[in-house]
Amino acid sequence: MLAPVAALRRQRRQPATRATRHRDRVRASEQIAGWSFVTPGVVIIMLFGIVPIVWSAVMSFQQNNLLTGNTPFVGVSNYRQMVHDPIVAQAISNTLVYTALFVPGTMLVGLFLAVAMNRQIRFISVYRTAAYATMAISTISEALVFIWLFDPSYGIVNYLFSLVGIGQQPFLNSTSEALYVIIIMTIWGWTGFAVVIYLAALQGIPKTLLEAAAIDGAGRWATFRRVTLPLLSPASLFLLVWLTINALQLFDEVYLSTAGGPLNSTSVLVYYLYEQAFTNFNFGYASAIAYFLFVVIIIVTAVQFWGGRRFVHYRS
């Protein structure tokens, strides 16, 4: 089917025989078929994917404010404004703190539960379903429940705190606590996902390897540390990258629970970008922030893959 290029060239130089005419017709019909099959999908992806990528790059160098109408080029002034914007600095720091706690938190919870659930005991499907259920809940439903759980005046969490002698906490109303409440709610929301990924990886580990370790006299902890954990490393790297990409794009929970407050203590990059774009209609400035986020995501992902290579063990 896939003839080498040289052979194709040779064919073309030959006088047209019945066979080559047939082959040309096949190739022409393949051109037509190829283009007609890809066109509907590609038009949509072009229009809503590729064109916007270029367009927002251009916009990030314009002063594009929907309210004024005209869009003069202003060089790098949007990017310069970003460097001097104290809220951007705050948003970057909030995003980093959030990511640094949310990602390992979710991975540890997921790993712990998946290990606990990786056995055939009674009610195991009930336990697993409880974890999976967090995958079905939307970020908005999740945030709404957690606002209520963490309500400063009437929330059940403050009641549980009072039972163990901790005083009432302001939670989402506090500049020092709000981000941590958002971390807790998103870890809960992603638990099901992490459990599914780790459980699938655990079930892919051949029993013979674990038995071999036991025969060699390795205890349970040693087997876990030296056999299971290295074999889970591809799943861990996937979760690390995937959760980080999502963490850097945190928006929904912030929008619903704090709207970036109090005093910008939960303003993350995407939330600030959204505000600039669709509250203030500063499309140019918002595009610059979006491109900054894009570059951060690419760098972080590349570093994780590059660094991950040393720690990831692939079974052949």
Partner 1 sequence: MSAPAIPIPAAAARKRRRRLPFSPWHLVLIPATLVLIFPFAWLLITSVETSSEALRFPPLLTPHHLEFSNYPQALQGAPFGRFFINSAVVAVTVVIGNLVLCSLAGYAFARYRFLGRGLLFALIMATLMVPFQVTMIPQFIITKWLGVHLLAGVGINHIGALILPNAATAFGVFFLRQFFRTLPIEYEEAARVDGASRLKVLWRIVLPLSGPALSTLAALTFLDSWNNFLWPLIAITSTNNMTLPLGLATFQGAHSTEWPLLMAGNVMSLAPMMVIFFVAQRYFVRSVAATGIAGA
Query: Which region among 9-17, 31-39, 71-79, 84-92 touches partner 1 (by CB under 8 A)?
Result: 31-39
Residue 36, helix vs strand vs coil: helix
Distance between CA atoms of 216 and 195, rounded to whole angstroms? Answer: 29
Q: Could you count the other beta carbons within 10 Å of the beta carbon of residue 109?
A: 18
Distance between CA atoms of 250 and 142, rounded to whole angstroms? Answer: 14
- Read out DSSP for 117-134? HSS--TTHHHHHHHHHHH
**Encoding tokens for residue 52?**
């916007």
Residues contacting partner 1: total by CB under 8 A = 105
Distance between CA atoms of 238 and 197, rounded to whole angstroms? Answer: 9
Chain centroid to Cα 203, Å, comes to 24
- Please identify, using beta-carbon distances, which residue of 84 and 136 lies nearer to partner 1: 136
Query: Which region among 11-19, 81-89, 173-181, 292-300 touches partner 1 (by CB under 8 A)?
Result: 292-300
Gyration radius (Cα) of the chain, Å: 27
Q: Which of 88, 179, 268, 270 binds partner 1 (CB under 8 A)?
A: 270
Q: Which of 10, 17, 25, 31 binds partner 1 (CB under 8 A)?
A: 31
- Please identify, using beta-carbon distances, which residue of 33 and 303 lies nearer to partner 1: 33
Contact letters for partner 1, residues 244-263 (x by CB under 8 A): -x--xx-xx--xx-------
Query: Which region among 9-17, 50-58, 70-78, 174-182 touches partner 1 (by CB under 8 A)?
Result: 50-58
- Please identify, using beta-carbon distances, which residue of 15 and 203 lies nearer to partner 1: 203
Q: Which of 10, 21, 24, 52 binds partner 1 (CB under 8 A)?
A: 52
Q: Establish if 134 lies at the interface with partner 1 (CB under 8 A).
A: yes
Q: Which of 12, 19, 20, 47 binds partner 1 (CB under 8 A)?
A: 47
Least distance to partner 1, CB of residue 17, Å: 20
Residue type, 197: I
Per CB under 8 A, which of residues 209..228 are in contact with partner 1?
A: 214-215, 217-220
Least distance to partner 1, CB of residue 188, Å: 7
Distance (Å) of CA 30 to CA 22, 47, 126, 213, 285? 12, 25, 52, 55, 45
Q: Establish if 184 lies at the interface with partner 1 (CB under 8 A).
A: no
Q: Establish if 111 lies at the interface with partner 1 (CB under 8 A).
A: no
Query: Which region among 72-80, 83-91, 99-107, 294-302 touches partner 1 (by CB under 8 A)?
Result: 294-302
H-state helical runs in the chain: 5-13, 18-45, 51-59, 77-84, 86-117, 124-136, 139-149, 156-163, 178-203, 207-215, 220-223, 229-231, 233-248, 252-257, 269-278, 283-311
Per CB under 8 A, which of residues 227..246 are in contact with partner 1?
A: 234-235, 237-239, 241-242, 245
Contact letters for partner 1, residues 3-22 (x by CB under 8 A): --------------------
**Encoding tokens for residue 271?**
């939330």
